[in-house]
Structure 1
Amino acid sequence: MIKNFILRHWRGEFPLPVSYWGISFLLVAFATSSFDLLSVGVEKLGSSITVTAWVLFGHTLFTFVLLAWSYVGTWRAANQFVASGKSKTWATLAKIAIVLGFFSFTANFNSQTYPILKVFIPYLLGGDPLGLVKTSLLDDGKTLKVEGVFGNGSYNQIKKDIKQHPQIQKLYLNSRGGRFKEVELIAELVMAKKIDTYVEEQCLSFCTVVFLAGTNRFSTPRAVIGFHAPTLKGASQFDDELSGQAKELYQKFHLHPDFIARILATPNTDMWYPSYEELIEYGVVNRMTFGGETSNLSSYINKSKLDLLEMFRKDNYFASYEKKFPGFIEKIVDIVMPLVQSGKTDSEILNAIRAYASQYQMRALAQSTPDIRARFVRLSLKQSLEVSRYGGEACYRLLTSTLDVGKVLPKPLVREELDLGIEALSASFVPPKNYSDKAFERALTKIFNGMTESEIRAIAEPNPKDVSHTCSALVKFYTALDQEQPASKDILAYGMLNK
């Protein structure tokens, strides 16, 4: 029946009114309006960009065939209409309408349909100019590190990784964004599998959708997390629809309405970077960390001893210590190698390095000049004030030299510490005036007189299980020390550093 209908219209066997009004007119109206409806409808599906591209291109091809069939059949029906002795006027008007309809469809295609199709051309074969994310396994397969941009096909890559390694418990993200459709699908997968998400470096744009999907979401204070409204480059007509989908997704994450509104109000040409306090307040980050949660560092320094020695010798910081304290680098390598080989976390490796290096750093500062030692006191105060924003554990780690300052402190403070250490290594020793152990004890007692017993104990006997007074103790101690007269300050600084 359908085949007979198609052939009859193609031959022009239907009456002209039926061919024109019942077929051609309605099909032209359908062809000019259905593409936008279909494109929006496909975007609502949980399909990849490749599927969307094929649906849109398939629809376009089908429309071309349908209109060609419609116009040819109606044109032939007009000829049959005249051949049967009926009015030429109606037949001519029908043909004029067909020509006008063709030009109208062509104009609509050039102005609306083609620009959208052009956007989707790169995705037809599954490719994407943005490329795929790069994935790698850490922590004996329990962590999947995801780097790069979430281009078309990234969902399939991560889905495959998780299927092949069901022990994955955490995604370690380092990305500047990607395609909204890809991250939306990945987010659904992460939520379904109850996987945690973690950021140390950056998670920008739609990377944040994946981050928010984590059961536990943790990042370091210096991690850069940025948001903006969604878009599909080159197809801005989808922006409102994408914003609606994004809002629904953010609501699934139980994100506060004010936070969602701020995201969607940020143009996709801009980026909003909430403070760490805001991220915690609004539940974006629900677990604080100070870095080193994975064994990521092992993949960079899992080398031979000779290679490690060469790597550290090329570093200006380590080379400066080697010059002052020969054998320093070889000892560092001897500490690092067994930890790397046994798969220890970054935090464990870095803490071991700091535990060894800090004693030499203190010696170098002690054997420098009064000016350098005074600047060390001021730097310690600035670091204490900054770290106290993140609670007692951070202050305890700063006090015991187990804090990865690069993950917590602003870059200027990190740079200042490195520069001060290198300057101290090359300085000629100028001892403090009138120093003695008794002079040091008297000056220290004066400082402690302005502190509570709990605060004194927090500094003198650091306890990781009791850090409630550590921040106030550090800030009070270094504030009082910084306010001392230069001679007394230098006695205290030298005595502390030389212990």
Structure 2
Amino acid sequence: MSLKNHDPTQADHSGESSSHTPAPGTDPTAWQQAAKARTRSASPKRAAHPVATERRPGYIASHWHGEQSLAQSFWLNNVLLSVPLAMLLTGVMSWISVKGGSLQISAITALLGWPLLMAFNVWCIVGAWRAAREYLRMGGAALWAWLARLSLGVGALQLVVSLLFGLLPDLGEYWQMARGIDPIGQATLKVSADGHVVQLRGPIGMGDAGRLQRLLEATPSVRRLELASPGGRVYEAEQVVALMSKSRYNTRAVGNCESACTLLFLAGRERQLMPGAQLGFHRASTGTYNPVFDELANQELAALYRRIGLPEDFIRRTVKTPSSSMWYPHSDELVAHALIAALPQTLDVALPAGQDNQAADFADALQGSPAWHALDQRFAGTLERLAARMQAARAAAASDEALQSLGYAELAPRMPELIASVSPVQRRQYAQLLRAQLKTALGQPGKGSETCLALLSGQVALRRQLPLELQIRETAWLVEAANSEPPRFAPKPATAIELEVMRRTLGSHSPGLLAGLWEQTAAPPSGRAAANRCETVIQTLDRAAALPVAQRELSERVLFQRL
């Protein structure tokens, strides 16, 4: 056997084409190269690229495609992740609505948070829905799959409702707040000419606490805050309350003070409710339709009211009053609970102490009287004139009694016009009041007749010596008369026929009998003549009261008219 037959290069290639076998006698180098080529062709070929391994989708994608288990998709992603995020965003919106703290940052958070919440909820609901479908396809219990879908549907509906009724109606307001603009506006702050009063009007909005603080720091002479506000941001009101606790200011409601404004009012050291003004209370509302957040907000509001001294029964009524309405307690209730100072029931006022008071100080004291407030509204300038007279009298070392009597002196020239312009019913009430005053004065021991005649003769200072009950009745009549609508036309003087009817009915002395009631005469009679005149006036008033309605109204009108 030749070496050729044992050539290893030929061992496994007997079936190859003869064209690949070198012929005998060829070049050895060429033969070796051919052998190497055949050896390479016989070895396994390597792949041009490595084999691709299978990649699993990420957590977000796997949930979205429904590849996670139903339990994981529903309980973990929808319940444990979605619910806390939704509650967090709802809490931010509640904070904006109730507290108003950091409004701009909170509004930006809401505007950014809502799209994120929507996207997250869509991801949660769609993925869990697909997981439920896959659960059914693999033979899972239909009950659990459809219960999950039902819960997902309710969640989707709740999200849509929150979007339609929670965000979209207030979207414009959130956008304004994000730009640093409070949509409810801001309060108007103004310092009085004497620097003693800060007037706050309008809604309490974003930044008002800081504005008020800067104003008070720049005006250290301020003693009182005058309020007329429909309320506003509780957070701002709470900041003002904290500011007032450091330097106690008096408060006065000159118009309706409602909602958050009541916090400012109750924080005052001395609190006064002007005639016509009311305090309005109601529960807080977050605007989120979430009773849990509403309850939390009202618990905080109740705690704040409790800190500034609002009685518990007032707090209970406040949190029971819907936010869409208002509870206005009567002034008598406020006085009974020491929430406001009792209003003066007579023309006397609490005079400022000291000898160096300005007219503005007396005007400020007079403004707190319902009677003087009403008279100033009816006869413009009344308070200014009376305050100037009081200041001059105080500078001249006059007594407080003399200063109080100046009020009647200021009132006297206005009374004939007021009596002539009221309704017949109010004029009759005044005639009955006058009769009671004269009979009381006449019945006083000693110089009763002289006192009675002095009243008829226009010595108005003596009215302060009448019993308190009669002074209160007279002041109440003044308030009602001054607040009544003035007549469109000036009252006409009595005609000759009317005067003749008066003389025949009540006596020749009756026309104009009480025309000088508020005009002081030089020398009133004394003794028996004084008593006779008082008795005559009382009898005339009695006879007039007994007449038929038309004649009574005519006689009472002519009794007070100057002929």
TM-score normalised by L of structure 2: 0.51
Structure 1 residue 171 corresponds to structure 2 residue 225 = yes
Summarize the alignment of residues 461-472 of structure 1 with structure 2, pairs less than 5 Å apart. none
Native 8 Å contact 1:230 1:268 kept in 2:
yes
The corresponding residue for 2:481 is 413
- TM-aligned CA distance change 1:418 to 1:195, over 3 Å: same
Q: Which moved more, 1:157-166 or 1:25-34?
A: 157-166
Distance 1:192 1:205 in 2: 23
Read off the aligned partner of 1:137 and give its amino acid letter.
V
Read off the aligned partner of 1:412 and give its amino acid letter.
E
Distance 1:208 1:482 in 2: 54
Summarize the alignment of residues 349-428 of structure 1 with structure 2, pairs less than 5 Å apart. 358-361=411-414, 376-378=430-432, 399=464, 412-415=480-483, 423=491
Name the SS of the counterpart of 1:485 in structure 2. Answer: helix
- 497, 505, 513: which is aligned to 1:432? 513
- 250, 265, 268: which is aligned to 2:320? 265
- TM-aligned CA distance change 1:408 to 1:156, over 3 Å: farther
Distance 1:236 1:180 in 2: 19
Distance 2:434 2:105 in 1: 57
Q: CA deviation at 1:116?
A: 1.9
The corresponding residue for 2:76 is 26
- TM-aligned CA distance change 1:137 to 1:287, over 3 Å: farther
- TM-aligned CA distance change 1:438 to 1:197, over 3 Å: closer
- 208, 226, 245: which is aligned to 2:300? 245
Name the SS of the counterpart of 1:171 in structure 2. Answer: strand
Distance 2:213 2:163 in 1: 33
Summarize the alignment of residues 289-304 of structure 1 with structure 2, pairs less than 5 Å apart. none
Summarize the alignment of residues 467-482 of structure 1 with structure 2, pairs less than 5 Å apart. none
Summarize the alignment of residues 88-487 of structure 1 with structure 2, pairs less than 5 Å apart. 89=138, 105-121=155-171, 122-126=173-177, 127-162=181-216, 164-165=218-219, 167-232=221-286, 235=289, 237=291, 238-286=293-341, 288=343, 358-361=411-414, 376-378=430-432, 399=464, 412-415=480-483, 423=491, 430-432=511-513, 442=528, 484-486=538-540
The corresponding residue for 2:33 is none
Native 8 Å contact 1:137 1:144 kept in 2:
yes
Distance 1:245 1:316 in 2: 44
Distance 2:322 2:58 in 1: 54
- TM-aligned CA distance change 1:52 to 1:421, over 3 Å: same
- TM-aligned CA distance change 1:373 to 1:45, over 3 Å: closer
Higher relative contact order structure (alpha carbons within 8 Å, sequence separation ≥ 6): 1
The corresponding residue for 1:3 is none
Q: Which moved more, 1:53-62 or 1:8-17?
A: 8-17
Q: CA deviation at 1:110?
A: 0.7
TM-score normalised by L of structure 1: 0.56
* Bigger share in helix: 1
Distance 1:213 1:267 in 2: 24
Deviation digits for residues 445-499 of structure 1 (CA, Å, limit 9, x no counterpart): 699xxxxxxxxxxxxxxxxxxxxxxxxxxxxxxxx99993226999xxx99999x
Identity of aligned residues (%): 20
Structure 1 residue 63 corresponds to structure 2 residue 114 = no
Native 8 Å contact 1:366 1:497 kept in 2:
no
Distance 2:308 2:185 in 1: 27
Native 8 Å contact 2:280 2:328 kept in 1:
yes
Native 8 Å contact 2:231 2:259 kept in 1:
yes
Q: CA deviation at 1:239?
A: 3.6
Name the SS of the counterpart of 2:176 in structure 1. Answer: coil
Deviation digits for residues 84-141 of structure 1 (CA, Å, limit 9, x no counterpart): xxx98499x9x99999897665422112354222354213422455432222111543
- TM-aligned CA distance change 1:143 to 1:336, over 3 Å: same
Count of residues in correspondence between the two structures: 390
- TM-aligned CA distance change 1:438 to 1:33, over 3 Å: same
- TM-aligned CA distance change 1:257 to 1:102, over 3 Å: closer
Runs of 5+ unmatched residues, structure 1: 1-6, 299-314, 319-328, 340-350, 384-394, 448-479
- TM-aligned CA distance change 1:49 to 1:427, over 3 Å: farther
Native 8 Å contact 1:35 1:56 kept in 2:
no
Read off the aligned partner of 2:480 and give its amino acid letter.
P
Runs of 5+ unmatched residues, structure 2: 1-56, 353-358, 364-376, 390-403, 438-459, 466-470, 500-510, 545-557
- TM-aligned CA distance change 1:252 to 1:482, over 3 Å: farther
- TM-aligned CA distance change 1:197 to 1:363, over 3 Å: closer
